[in-house]
Amino acid sequence: MNQGPGWTDRIVQCIYWVAYRLHLLWTFVFRPATEGVWIAVWHQGQLLLIKNSYRRFITLPGGGMDNGETPLAAAIRELREEVGIEASQTDLSLYKQYLSLCEFKHDRINLFELELTEQPTIHIDNHEVSWAQITTGQDALKLKLFPTLRVYLEDKQVR
């Protein structure tokens, strides 16, 4: 699922790390309201988790919405870009919308769920996404999760 990064991957990860810190500085100054998507990919009670190379928290596949993009279209695009999973509009269902106040912004997260009948084959780029794992929700709660992901898992009562 995850091959180790090469030296070019490390350079790109460093660029992401610097860009992310500059982004945090910008959000600290301007406190923007943003909207994005997360996708909880489930298979037989197990959840796909990722770690971005520039963040310290484990999270779900997802990201921001492009101009004019719907949350559903963004979710489909982010799944494909971050973990190589192809999904259609009918495969995803909106679970809930969360407000995250992390990272100095008011981020409205549209959290979609995708239930797969077969275990997915995950493809990460070792640039933006540096780690992926499929685990139970209960085991996920033992990890260093992005706060909103922890709230989602508690909402789902995965304990």
- Taking CB atoms within 8 Å and a gap of at least 24, the contacts of 63-70 are 63/36, 63/37, 64/34, 64/35, 64/36, 65/35, 65/36, 65/37
CA dist., res. 68 & res. 59, Å (int): 25
| HSE-up of residue 72 (Cα within 13 Å, Cβ side) | 8
DSSP letter (8 states) at residue 89: T
What sign does the dihedral 122-91-47-57 (CA atoms) show? positive
What is the pLDDT tens value at each position of the chain, 159 positions in all? 555 788 999 999 999 999 999 999 999 999 999 999 999 999 999 999 999 999 999 999 999 999 999 999 999 999 999 999 999 999 999 999 999 999 999 999 999 999 999 999 999 999 999 999 999 999 999 999 999 999 999 999 876
CA dist., res. 46 & res. 44, Å (int): 6
- Residue of 11, 10, 156, 143 lying closest to 96 (CA atoms): 156
Q: State residue 158's pLDDT score.
A: 78
Q: Which top CATH class is 7-155?
A: alpha beta
Domain edges within the chain: 7-155
Q: State residue 5's pLDDT score.
A: 80
Q: State residue 159's pLDDT score.
A: 60
